[in-house]
Structure 1
Amino acid sequence: MAGPTRPPLAAGRVRARGGPMIFRTEVKRSIAPWAGLALVVVALGFLFLLSGPWWKVPAPWTAHVTTTALWLRFVLMFLWPIVVGAGAIQGMRDSRSGMVELLSTTPRPGWHRAAKLAGAVGALTGLGYLLVFAVGVVEVFAHDGFFSPGFVPVVLVGLLGVVAGSWLGLAVGRLLPHPLAAPGAAVLALVATILCWISLEPGLDAVLPVRAGPLVPSLAEPRGSMVTTSASLDVGQAVWFLGLAATGFLLLAVNSARARLLSLLPLVAGAAIALPLFPALPQDALTADRFAARKVCDGPVCVAELHSGRLAGLAGPGREALAMLAKLPGAPTRVEEETLPYFANRVPRRDPGVVYLDFQGNKGLLTVDASDLRLAVLAGAGVPSCERPSAGSLPDEAARTIAAAYFTGELKVPPDFDRGYFNRQFGAIEQVWAEFRALPADVQFARIVAVRQALLTCQGEPLDTLVPGALR
């Protein structure tokens, strides 16, 4: 008797290979490779050809791999519209080719074809996003930057946003197969990302509420080299983009009007869960990265793990400055690096027991010598300015300079000040310093105590406390 025939097995092999073969076909005949390539080219062009804020203090993108991930999320302001527009172009393929009726008569479920197309477009655009991040990681290592696992949620949520944007574009192209659909979707996505970015940027007049800012994957500028996104923002955005991706895929796969209406449910559910989790204030979107901001201490002097190499140079001057300040009532007992996000419109935090040094906002502190580090600790009798970094005033800086000079006996500009501007006014400050030095020793001490209290409470004019009517 003849043995069993081979065709059924061969047919089974064809069916088994059908999925990968169809996926490879979709990759070849779709816009997916070009969309991923466009994302890579535009992103690297922005990051390497423009001397944008990603190269500058307080958050150079090569300082820390999490900062690199945050800058890539910022650049999504321009990349996400490209992803949405490319998806819309691809979504119009069946309508442009006149195959809608033909495909509707095939026995194969619509979601099978949708899954292969969405998988190809989503995978290639997501791969482009990851390739740009990989280039950033190489740059971090090349510049001896800091590596920590804090980048994982930042990158994964951004990846979800890219995939969701591509699937949203596919759905738009399928539902609105018009030549203007793709450019229109891209322009609307660009407008939406800019408006959402403004709502997360402190100090700007926002059109949208703050909680609407995270509805797109782009973020405002990172405010420091040791910050990351807050957990609530990560969870909220992950839920929102999952809902957006699910709705985009369902709209691509289903045909009836009723099914399309039901496809909006994941979007609504995602918004309902995510919006309460989104930050109510722009500052709440960022928090200190617990890996980079971990304290490394030498006695009472501490720096962040990111700048652990600076501890040896700061420990000695820090102890000397604390010993000088010890004669003041309620004197500080510790010197620590400031690890909170840097905001130009926010007054630096203050603590009577701690002197904070901001290496993020004042890059010069990373390279100055021991005497300048000691001077930075003594400025303002160990208390920062009550002025916002973006609105510093000469009287305020003069008071903090004279307070430091009281302990050292020498009037010298602290390293964290704008020395170019300050030196032009140095003659006037020397006159105030001479008036202060002419006072009896007990009066000088009392006024230094008073100026420290004025800076701690941010009440009164510090320079008037030292020398009434000075610089007027």
Structure 2
Amino acid sequence: MTATATDSRPAATAARRAPGPLRTELRRGLGPWTGAAVAVTILVTMYAKAPEWQIRWQDAQNLLHPLAGMLCGPLAMAAGCLQGGRDRRVGAEDLWASVPRPPLPRLLVAAAPSALWPAAAVLLADAVVLLAVWPYASWGRPSAGPLLADAVAVGAMGLTGHVVGRVVRWRLTAPLLAVAGYFGLAYADFTSSASRWLLPNAQFSVSGYRQVWWYAPASAAWTAGLALTVLLAYGLRSSRVRLLALVPLTVAVCAAAVILRLPADPGPWRIDPAAVRPVCDDGAPRVCVVALDARLLPAVTEALEPVNERLRGLPGAPARWAVGAMEPEPGDVELLDVAQDVVRNRLEDPASYRNFAVSQLFAEECREGELAGPYAERTMDVNHAVVEWLAPAPPGYGPDVPGARAHLDRLRAKSPAEQRAYLVQYLAANSCRPDEVPVP
């Protein structure tokens, strides 16, 4: 009795230590390599575009979303296809057929790496990217729903590829499946219909917008439902319970019906009033940015301060510089989104931004035929001269206007009091009436 008990202990210990079938499948084959390829694809692409997104949570997610769907999805499909055809390639199909385990659980265990590794890699890469945004983001937080929906979509495409690899016995299936998936997903970039919101790479990149809360769960239900339908239809093909495949199919169809009710534009995106509320300094004229860019306010204020020194206290000067998509007020000079000129909360070229801002200050919209007549060309030359005087453009930035040089020289030759008096006259004039524009 003692010898029997002693001999059974190593066997029991070995049984406890032996990895289960799911763990074994996750550790071998193409799964880990697929996950690594997905993560590297996202991280390398995002690293190359770091100046475009390392400023806002939303900008980072606006790049992560189509990247996961457009590149990682087809990659996961091709890898899943190769993983699905593994048993056929190694000649293990007859061996598996002799195992007493039911076909569906065996299929679920074998297909798990094709779905779980790509999905986990997407989430890991997303976490790395968002950590890189964290020191520079001004407002808000990342949206977990879209990130999870992206991971589910990539995992679903890997699962679908696995089933295709089991069904289609052709060596070129995997690369052709990746190409077909890529060009099929490209449909979202070439259509404006509501059907594009069914695709996992559909994009609408506008600052200050947020997704409706239900879109990410519906999108995940749509992609996961289709993939599970394909998997169950294959796994239960010889079973009496094959009607179970209708359950995920019903979920997918209901999710698609909800998504298709979205307007074609802007789809699931709605403006977020809290994101575009103005955040202003106490200068004169005031400099205001949207809450999304609150950390950029000191850099923008510093860039515009030389112009503000000359405009401060003058009649006709703007009330504020409105930077971004905020609600306009009387006396605003509306400037475009500043993010394209910023790298990690620093203006790359303050002089060129200042020149652009002053150009917008004097960019009056004239009706057709107003800016005409014998003084029209002179008015445009004077405009260029005043802009260059207030905010000199860096070399190679802006147009070279020979006719403005004489006006610019006369402006620079005036005394500070004369320059101030002329600027008051110029601000009061209507540039759409060339005969009223004062000449320096």
Asked whether the two chains share a fold, i.e. TM above 0.5, the reply is yes
> What letter corresponds to residue 79 of structure 2 in structure 1?
A
Q: 8 Å contact 1:65–1:136 — kept in the other structure?
A: no
1:272 to 240, 246, 257: 257
* 1:218 equivalent in alignment to 2:218: no
Q: In structure 1, what is the Cα distance between the partners aligned to 2:46 and 2:74?
A: 17
Paired amino acid for 1:412:
W
The answer as to whether partners of 2:77 and 2:160 remain within 8 angstroms in 1 is: yes
Per the alignment, residue 202 of structure 1 pairs with none
Give the Å deviation of 1:26: 1.0
Give the C-alpha shift of residue 158 in structure 1. Answer: 1.3
1:128 is aligned to: 121
Distance 1:359 1:70 in 2: 17
> Per-residue CA shift, 1:212-265, capped at 9, x if unaligned?
3333323558456x6665656535423322323432442353224964973644
Q: Could you say which residue in structure 1 is the equivalent of 2:233?
A: 251
Say which of 241, 255, 269 aligns to 2:223: 241
Segment of structure 1 superposing worse, 283-292 or 182-191 = 283-292
How far, CA to CA, are the matches of 1:139 and 1:177 in structure 2?
A: 44
Q: Report how far residue 363 of structure 1 moved.
A: 4.0
- Residue equivalent to 1:34: 33
The TM-score, its normalising length taken from structure 1, stands at: 0.65
Higher mean Cα deviation, 363-372 or 235-244?
A: 363-372
Matched, 1:307 2:289: no
Q: Cα distance, 1:33 vs. partner?
A: 0.8
Describe the SS at the equivalent of 1:360. helix
> What is the aligned residue count?
401
Partner of 2:333: 355
Q: Are 2:160 and 2:230, in contact at CA under 8 Å, matched by a contact in 1?
A: yes
Q: What is aligned with 2:59?
A: 67
Alignment-mate amino acid for residue 280 of structure 1: A
Secondary structure, in 3 states, of the residue corresponding to 1:78? helix
Q: Deviations over 1:65-113 (max 9, x none)?
A: 4422332223232221110111112222344455556656755443322
1:114 correspondence with 2:107: yes
Contact 2:316 2:427 in 1 (8 A): no
Pairwise CA distance, 1:192: 1.3
Matched, 1:296 2:271: no
2:389 is aligned to: 412
Q: How does 1:194-233 map to 2 (within 5 A)?
A: 194-196=186-188, 198=189, 206=190, 208-220=191-203, 222=205, 231=213, 233=215
Unaligned runs of 5+ in 1: 199-205, 341-348, 387-395, 452-463
Q: Deviations over 1:103-148 (max 9, x none)?
A: 567554433223333433322112221232233234335x745574
In structure 2, how many angstroms separate the alpha carbons of the residues matched to 1:337 and 1:445?
21
- Give TM-score scaled by structure 2 length: 0.69
Q: Deviations over 1:252-294 (max 9, x none)?
A: 53224964973644443332222223x513x556666777655
Could you tell me which of 143, 152, 157 is aligned with 2:144? 152
Sort the Cα spacing of 1:260 and 1:170 in 2 relative to 1 into closer, same or farther, 3 A. farther
Query: Where does residue 89 of structure 1 map in the other structure?
Result: 82
Q: Which runs of 5+ in 2 are unaligned?
A: 367-375, 411-417
- What is the deviation of 1:191? 1.0
Cα distance in 2, alignment partners of residues 69 and 442 from structure 1: 46
Change (3 A) 1:294 1:234: farther
Q: Secondary structure at the match of 1:149?
A: coil
For 1:428, which of 403, 426, 435 is the aligned residue? 403
Per-residue CA distance 1:29-70 (angstroms, 9 max, x = gap): 33211111121233334344xx5xx245xxx12223442233
> Aligned ranges for residues 312-331 of structure 1 at < 5 Å?
312=298, 314=301, 317=305, 327=316
Is 2:179 the partner of 1:187? yes
What residue identity is the alignment partner of 1:78?
L
**What is the DSSP-based 3-state SS (H/G/I as helix, E as strand, rest coil) of the residue aligned with 2:389?**
coil
Instruction: Determine the structure 1 residue equivalent to 2:162.
Output: 170
Match of 1:389 in 2: none
Distance 1:362 1:432, change over 3 A: farther
Matches of 2:352 and 2:72, distance apart in 1: 47
State the one-letter code of the partner of 2:59: T
SS in 1 for 2:396: helix
3-state secondary structure, aligned to 2:147: helix
Q: Is the 8 A contact 1:301 1:336 kept in 2?
A: yes
